[in-house]
Amino acid sequence: MLNTEIAQIFRDIAKILEIKQENVFRVRAYERAAQNIEALDEDVSGLVRENRLSEIPGVGKDLSGKITEYCLTNKIKYFEQLKKEIPQGVLELLSVPSVGPKTVRLLFEKLKVKSVAGLEKAISKGRLNNVPGIKEKTIANILKGIAIFKRGKERITLAQATKIAGDFSESLSGMKEVDKLSSAGSLRRQKETVGDIDILIVSQKPAKVMHKFTRLPSVAQVLASGATKASVRTRQDVQVDCRVVEAKSFGAALVYFTGSKDFNIRLRQIAIKKGLKVNEYGVFRKNKFICGRTEEDVFKVLGLPYIEPELRENRGEIELAMQGRLPELVGLKDIKGDLHTHSDWSDGVSSIEEMAQAARERGYEYIALTDHSQSLKIANGLSVEDLKKKRAQIDRVNSRLKGVTVLFGTEVDIDSQGRIDYKDDILKGFDIVVAAIHTGFKQPSSQLTKRLVSACRNKYVHVIAHPTGRLWGVRDAYPVDMNEIFKAAKDTNTHMEINSFPNRLDLNDINCRRASELGVKFAISTDSHESTQLGAIRFGLSVARRAGLTKNSVINTYGLNKLLKEIRK
């Protein structure tokens, strides 16, 4: 948990430096260090003890000192000083889409705005009108940004929930009184966003478990606390519910608290028809306990096979289960490679070799390096000249590195008219072409749809990446006609991407299911910009599983030869 705390402080320092408009390289250095500390699989305090902090990429003498200081004193003096200049609440303003560091500084210095709530109030009182540097249009954009920001706060992303629940589980499952532990609720169903985190525990000493749960260091407030259940709010403002049950009820409780609510209601109806009653304690006939120890037992007495948590939404899975036609969901073990990643040739951090090695460590057969294309200057897009050099570098890596094949790819930009950023004779030189929209999000729906459809029609475009452009807490999906795009994709043998990047998850489960019904196939990709991010594939897999996809409709479960044959148009 120390890692999370230090990463958070480094991120805050980066934000303060940004608001103070200091050197961008220092800002990036703190951001990068934060990311790397979070990615560590051991606690930093161990590294401090063994004098091994310099092993963390991006951590030099200065940052090592600060990490050590925090481990010893639970404080970083430099950070305390910075907070006096720019109070903590001001940092929150930076998370509002369309509010940049310059505006934050202006708002804070001129209007003493110190929080998002304060900003809302200032706008409603008209205090932003006539401030030099703030136009009417800007105010409208800020208001839109605040709405998106608020929605992003109500529900956290699946990745955030996974991290927080993981920390809680680790602390609690270490207790000798805890016999079993599982997440439940929307997190276990792997929904793309999570309202609150639910944890279920088997223990014969619930009081001990409750005592520890409500006193964990990350707990800021205890909302409710009873003999076998409690709710807390964490320092990051997330609610966690924890319940302790008896071993003989664990399966029934798991079914009940995993939900969804609609799924539970259907199960109860099925039970009633069989003269049974099902609740969080078990399945009963009259008042006689029949079973409840495992989920399988509960499903079985209801005449059902085990239904994977990701499917439990009452969207037809119960009917399929009754007919014995549940899909065999695609899983992590099926994935043979990643088809959308970036290296330091465009806006990524890792080299091609580092990316390839990370792919090999995951047991992948291939990885496509799809750096950005020439017109995307902001992401250091590659010119035709650069492409030749990159190809040569990939050839070198491929001849040196055994066990994994690096594919020469591009994430090519689709321009405002639907034109592809490289000519066909360049495009055909790639092993794989992923196409995406990066600008002009505000065009009318018909134009956005036309752009994506015309990308599908290009003979050399294999995959459409992050098709709706949504970024949770940052930007809503743009209003495209998904059916049109899926039809075009099906007609042209173009594949749709499920982007696993935690705040994208784009396509989402519903669109994905619709596309699948139309016969479209998918690539589950991470869009990694650093070798440590390849693990995010699990979140894209969650989307795919919630959509009911089998491995056959996910092309990166194919071996390399089959994949290359499949994507040819």
Pick one of Ca ion, ligand DGT, none as the site partner of residue 264 (Cβ within 5 to 8 A by kind): ligand DGT
**524, 537 contact by CB (below 8 A):** yes
User: Shortest distance, CB of residue 190 to ligand DGT, whole angstroms?
Assistant: 11
**Residue 71, token pair as written in the block:** 């481990």
User: Shortest distance, CB of residue 199 to ligand DGT, whole angstroms?
Assistant: 11
Pick one of Ca ion, ligand DGT, none as the site partner of residue 89 (Cβ within 5 to 8 A by kind): none
Nearer to ligand DGT, 259 or 418 (CB): 259
Pick one of Ca ion, ligand DGT, none as the site partner of residue 140 (Cβ within 5 to 8 A by kind): none
User: DSSP of 22-37, one letter per residue?
Assistant: --HHHHHHHHHHHHHH
Closest C-alpha to 445, from 499, 490, 482: 482
Pick one of ligand DGT, Ca ion, none as the site partner of residue 260 (Cβ within 5 to 8 A by kind): ligand DGT
User: Shortest distance, CB of residue 222 to ligand DGT, whole angstroms?
Assistant: 17
Looking at residue 462, what DSSP letter applies? -
Q: Which residue is nearest to Ca ion (CB)?
A: 185
Amino acid at 220: A
User: Shortest distance, CB of residue 160 to ligand DGT, whole angstroms?
Assistant: 12
d(CA 132, CA 566): 57
Three-state secondary-structure class, residue 223: strand
List the interface residues with ligand DGT, window 184-203 (CB under 6 A).
185-186, 194-196, 198
List the interface residues with Ca ion, window 491-550 (CB under 5 A).
none
Looking at residue 309, what DSSP letter applies? G
Closest C-alpha to 475, from 437, 449, 447: 437
User: DSSP of 493-514, one letter per residue?
Assistant: TPEEEEE-STTT-BS-HHHHHH
Nearer to Ca ion, 185 or 381 (CB): 185
Question: Which string of x and - marks every residue 166-185 that binds ligand DGT (by CB under 6 A)?
Answer: -------------------x
List the interface residues with Ca ion, window 343-372 (CB under 5 A).
none
Kindly determine how many residues on this chain lie close enough to bind Ca ion according to the rule CB under 5 A.
Answer: 5
Q: Where are the beta strands (DSSP E) in 403-557?
A: 405-413, 432-436, 463-464, 495-499, 522-525
Nearer to ligand DGT, 238 or 463 (CB): 238
Pick one of Ca ion, ligand DGT, none as the site partner of residue 525 (Cβ within 5 to 8 A by kind): none
User: Shortest distance, CB of residue 241 to ligand DGT, whole angstroms?
Assistant: 6
d(CA 405, CA 458): 26
> What's the distance, CA 137 to chain centroid?
31
Looking at residue 477, what DSSP letter applies? P
Pick one of ligand DGT, Ca ion, none as the site partner of residue 176 (Cβ within 5 to 8 A by kind): none
Nearer to ligand DGT, 155 or 529 (CB): 155
Nearer to ligand DGT, 58 or 195 (CB): 195
User: Shortest distance, CB of residue 291 to ligand DGT, whole angstroms?
Assistant: 19
Pick one of Ca ion, ligand DGT, none as the site partner of residue 257 (Cβ within 5 to 8 A by kind): ligand DGT
Closest C-alpha to 276, from 258, 293, 256, 298: 298
Question: Which string of x and - marks every residue 176-215 that binds Ca ion (by CB under 5 A)?
Answer: ---------xx---------x-x-----------------
User: Shortest distance, CB of residue 185 to Ca ion, whole angstroms?
Assistant: 3
Residue 385 parent element (H or E):
helix 384-400
Looking at residue 534, what DSSP letter applies? G
Q: For residue 133, what are the CA distances in angstroms to 16, 103, 394, 436? A: 21, 8, 47, 33
Looking at residue 468, what DSSP letter applies? T
Q: Which residue is nearest to ligand DGT (CB)?
A: 259
User: Shortest distance, CB of residue 474 to ligand DGT, whole angstroms?
Assistant: 20
User: Shortest distance, CB of residue 256 to ligand DGT, whole angstroms?
Assistant: 6
> Pairing between strand 197-203 and 229-234?
unpaired
Looking at residue 229, what DSSP letter applies? E
**438, 376 contact by CB (below 8 A):** yes
List the interface residues with ligand DGT, window 250-289 (CB under 6 A).
256-257, 259-261, 264-265
Nearer to ligand DGT, 38 or 196 (CB): 196
Nearer to Ca ion, 198 or 371 (CB): 198
**549, 331 contact by CB (below 8 A):** no
Nearer to ligand DGT, 98 or 279 (CB): 279
User: Shortest distance, CB of residue 502 to Ca ion, whole angstroms?
Assistant: 18
Nearer to ligand DGT, 256 or 366 (CB): 256
User: Shortest distance, CB of residue 191 to ligand DGT, whole angstroms?
Assistant: 6
Residue with tokens 């014995």: 324
Nearer to Ca ion, 18 or 241 (CB): 241
Half-sphere exposure of 109 (CA within 13 A, CB side): 12
User: Shortest distance, CB of residue 451 to Ca ion, whole angstroms?
Assistant: 38
d(CA 479, CA 464): 16
User: DSSP of 322-376, one letter per residue?
Assistant: HTT----B--GGG--EEEEE--TTTT-SS-HHHHHHHHHHTT-SEEEEEEEBTT-
- 241 scored as a contact of Ca ion (CB under 5 A): yes
User: Shortest distance, CB of residue 270 to ligand DGT, whole angstroms?
Assistant: 13
Nearer to ligand DGT, 53 or 271 (CB): 271
Pick one of Ca ion, ligand DGT, none as the site partner of residue 259 (Cβ within 5 to 8 A by kind): ligand DGT
CB atoms within 10 A of CB 36: 20
User: DSSP of 286-304, one letter per residue?
Assistant: TTEEEE-SSHHHHHHHTT-
Binding-site ranges for Ca ion (CB under 5 A): 185-186, 196, 198, 241
List of residues contacting ligand DGT (CB under 6 A)? 185-186, 194-196, 198, 256-257, 259-261, 264-265
